[in-house]
Structure 1
Amino acid sequence: MKTPGLTKLRGSVTVTVRGEQLEQFINALAKEQIEVWNLTPISVDHMRMEIVVADYFRLRPLLKRTGSRAHVDGRAGLPFFWNQMYRRKWFLIGFLLFCAGMFCLTSLVWDVEVKGNVKLNKEDILQTAREEGIYPFQWTFRMPDQDKLSKDMTRRLPGTSWVGVSRSGTKVTIEVVEAAQPKNTELLSPRHLISKADAVVTHIFAERGQPEVGIHDRVRKGSVLITGQQGDLSVVAQGEVRGIVWHEYDIESPLVRKEFVYTGEKKEKGYLYFGNTAIQVWGYGKVSYDKMQTLTRLDPLTWRSWKLPIGWMSENILEATEIETQQTMEQAAARGMEGAKLDIKVKNGADAVVLKQKILHEKSDNGKVYMKVLFEVEQNIAEELPIVHHQGE
């Protein structure tokens, strides 16, 4: 027999019937016009069927007449669902209150951030925003239109060329673009440009002042490269001077290279987070790794383009180990050279160029390579020296 209509709404039960007169029982069902479906014989005196809840209570006289017994194996449908919900009404009420609370919390402004201000006081910007209706614990749906806010705040904040207001979830960001101010010309004292190291000049450009040396000239530390003294007039010498400088380095490089690598073993932990509070859900247990690294990933709940302050946080704890790699003298020496060249750029500017390198001495001892290396470097060699006028001059 086909399943009657609206059984989900009316409710149904799965019934197992036992008895020696099952055939008479089925005939009685048909005579009383009781609808059953999915009738399945299990044995000679044993069958299973489904029946509407209202008709189940009409079975008692038929069971008594045929000497059969019935046992309910399963229940389905809306009546049982509501009955189950009623028994758990406090849980349902708590869940509804939780949803209502989360809706309220996510409909409030929790944080107002100001970006881009340099000269304008942050408190003045926040006060103007408050007067326009932007402040913590304000309902987001009560905020004015963002374009209107931007125009009004730009008009009310002197010294701004544009103010942008944007909202992401419970956070409002006020981005300020300050109006350009005329630059104040810095007053500089008269000065020379002198050499900061012994060098051979390779390039000289005097923007202001008089060059005192030429290309290929050898200069000593402290020599005047561009003078700011032009007759009785003192000026601020400006320009660029590059030269070849020699740097001597004592390099130590180990023959055994140590580095950390992942072993592939890891432990995962999962958390539910609410703002700055996280509750661990799974992944309990002590982590027994000697060396490890923890990678954290946040997956917040989103609604449209807003990120809510709740979501899932996962942690991957990766086991690491230290491995040692034996290097040849050539490999260790090359790594030492790279370190020295990097140090040259750090100390003398990113535009410093290593032209040549010469190993003056090299030996291997106690698991290390020792080298004395002379580097030929083209770099900026100019530094400032104020012109001091003595009294009476």
Structure 2
Amino acid sequence: MLHWIQYLRGYVTVKVWGYSVERLLNLCGNHDVLVWDIEDHGDYHTMHISIAGFFALKPLLKKTGTRAAVLGKYGLPFFVSKMWRRKLFVAGLFGCILFWCLASRFIWDIRIEGNFALTEDVLLDYLEEQGVHTAMKKSALEIAELEQALREDYDLITWTSVQLRGTTLLIHIKENEMPVYDNRNQAEADKGMDLVAEKEGVVTYIITRSGVPQVACGDSVRKGDVLVSGAVPVYNEDTTVRRYQYVQADADITISYARNLSLEEEIAYDEKCYTGETIEIPVVGTGEKEVAFRIRKVPYDFYDTSEEKKQVQLLDHLYLPVYYGKRTVQEYEIVPKMHTDEEMKTLLQERFRKIISTLNEKGVQIAEKNVTIKKNNKKWVLHAHMQLEESAVKLTPTITPPVEEPEKEEDTQSD
């Protein structure tokens, strides 16, 4: 505590030498001149003394025949005096403090945690539609309304928590682990739903659980044909249709269809060869504006650029709307090359394997395939004829017209 008082009042370190330094110290005690940290260096003494005590020391030096020299000045009065001579520095310091205070009233970072099925891009686009974005005022954010809107607009979200920490908006969500059913299909099921073909082909397998099958194994179908009707007829005694009972059609159906595929690969190609020459350009920006500290133009004819940016972070959750980083420019040369026969086969087969893998992920079965690779003067061509099988069906509202029940005629008896 005493140290802080001394710093606020200010003090100096002096060097004292001469005829009677001991007598000088005694006079300082008699005249209430505070000195401390006295050190004996043989020919001279050093000590700390307050500013007021230093000015009261002059007559005592004459009485004792000693001399004093200032070795250092410390404390707030000397710091303020130095800063006052550096007006630009002081103005910049106050400007930074003012900027900090103003920037802390806005949101400069949005973090989303707990999302798995819903991607961060989807949620950020939703927040933008709701008027929640970076560079918005904290006072304009309605936390309770945002939490409610997230739960109402996304059935997958069961719990939300929105918090403001510094200039960071933290959104914690919890997704429903149970499957979410489509309520629209459930509502339409009361009116009847048909299973229709999404592709043209031949039905190779059909097991109906609900509805009336309209096709059998071996039948050819076109896209849009009804495979299983959701209108179940109720017959009269004379086998005429009295009415229809509407259900949601449900069945396991496999449709077989042919698909031809052609892949091409050029023998000649251009390859990027990096020379190892790079240029690093410092970059500073705020929002969508950016300044690159580039002295001269990029001297390369062909080059790639990559950027690394970081947002200015003062505390754990206190961000400023300022980015800094560097832009790296890498020179490369375009070298014409030719694929070997082995490389051409590998490239085409790899592309074909990726297509097959994608089909398998979608549940498409390959019943038969015939692959040929032909070589031309400038390119190689892979031709593939495949017989595919998949459950290419979808639900649509039933189109069977309802049958009105005939009105019963009442026999009238005449008196």
**TM-score (norm: length of structure 1):** 0.57
Q: Structure 1 residues 348, 151: closer, same or farther in 2, change over 3 A?
A: closer
How far apart, in 1, do the equivalents of 2:125 and 2:263 lie? 47
Structure 1 equivalent of residue 196 of structure 2: 193
CA deviation after TM superposition for structure 1 residue 375, in Å: 1.6
Q: Does 1:315 align with 2:327?
A: yes
How far apart, in 1, do the equivalents of 2:208 and 2:390 lie? 17
- In structure 2, which of residues 286, 303, 314 is the aligned counterpart of residue 302 of structure 1? 314
Preserved contact between residue 153 and residue 163 of structure 1 (Cα < 8 Å): no
Preserved contact between residue 191 and residue 384 of structure 1 (Cα < 8 Å): yes
Give the partner amino acid of 2:278: K
CA deviation after TM superposition for structure 1 residue 303, in Å: 0.7
Structure 2 equivalent of residue 369 of structure 1: 380
CA deviation after TM superposition for structure 1 residue 122, in Å: 4.2
Give 3-state SS (helix, strand or coil) of 2:221's partner: coil
How far apart, in 1, do the equivalents of 2:275 and 2:357 lie? 36
- In structure 1, which of residues 75, 80, 92 is the aligned counterpart of residue 89 of structure 2? 92
Q: Structure 1 residues 82, 322: closer, same or farther in 2, change over 3 A?
A: same
Q: Does 1:107 align with 2:101?
A: no
Q: Structure 1 residues 100, 295: closer, same or farther in 2, change over 3 A?
A: closer
Q: How far does the alpha carbon of each residue in 1:212-269 deviate from its partner, in whole angstroms, 9 at most, with x for none? A: 666xx43323376434454443544233322443212233222235454644332111
Give 3-state SS (helix, strand or coil) of 2:383's partner: strand
Structure 2 equivalent of residue 219 of structure 1: 219
Preserved contact between residue 112 and residue 174 of structure 1 (Cα < 8 Å): no
- In structure 2, which of residues 388, 391, 394 is the aligned counterpart of residue 380 of structure 1? 391
How far apart, in 2, do the equivalents of 1:367 and 1:162 lie? 60
Q: Does 1:135 align with 2:147?
A: no
Q: Structure 1 residues 122, 272: closer, same or farther in 2, change over 3 A?
A: closer
Q: Structure 1 residues 363, 273: closer, same or farther in 2, change over 3 A?
A: closer
Structure 2 equivalent of residue 293 of structure 1: 305
How far apart, in 2, do the equivalents of 1:187 and 1:176 lie? 31
Q: Structure 1 residues 181, 209: closer, same or farther in 2, change over 3 A?
A: closer
Preserved contact between residue 107 and residue 138 of structure 2 (Cα < 8 Å): no
> Where does 1:1-393 land on structure 2 (aligned, <5 Å)?
10=13, 33=43, 77-78=72-73, 85=82, 88-110=85-107, 122=130, 134-135=138-139, 164-172=161-169, 183=183, 185-188=186-189, 189-194=192-197, 196-199=199-202, 201=204, 203-211=205-213, 217-222=217-222, 225-231=227-233, 232=241, 233=244, 235-258=247-270, 260=272, 262-280=274-292, 282-289=293-300, 290-324=302-336, 326-329=338-341, 331-339=343-351, 350-359=362-371, 362-383=373-394, 386-389=398-401
How far apart, in 2, do the equivalents of 1:156 and 1:198 lie? 45
Give the partner amino acid of 1:221: V
Preserved contact between residue 209 and residue 227 of structure 1 (Cα < 8 Å): yes
Give the partner amino acid of 1:199: V
Extract unaligned runs of 5+ from structure 2. Answer: 1-10, 16-41, 47-69, 113-122, 234-240, 406-415
How far apart, in 2, do the equivalents of 1:330 and 1:353 lie? 29
Give the partner amino acid of 1:90: K
Aligned pairs, how many? 306
Give 3-state SS (helix, strand or coil) of 1:94's partner: helix
CA deviation after TM superposition for structure 1 residue 339, in Å: 3.9
Q: Structure 1 residues 101, 286: closer, same or farther in 2, change over 3 A?
A: same
Q: How far does the alpha carbon of each residue in 1:53-98 deviate from its partner, in whole angstroms, 9 at most, with x for none? A: xxxxxxxxxxxxxxxxxxxxxx99548x969936842123223212
CA deviation after TM superposition for structure 1 residue 326, in Å: 3.1
Preserved contact between residue 303 and residue 329 of structure 2 (Cα < 8 Å): no
How large is the RMSD of aligned CA atoms in angstroms? 5.3
Give the partner amino acid of 1:101: L
Preserved contact between residue 109 and residue 170 of structure 1 (Cα < 8 Å): yes
CA deviation after TM superposition for structure 1 residue 392, in Å: 8.7
Preserved contact between residue 305 and residue 327 of structure 2 (Cα < 8 Å): no
Structure 2 equivalent of residue 3 of structure 1: none
Give 3-state SS (helix, strand or coil) of 1:187's partner: helix
Q: How far does the alpha carbon of each residue in 1:92-141 deviate from its partner, in whole angstroms, 9 at most, with x for none? A: 322321232233124323579896998xx947x99xxx9xx9515x9xxx
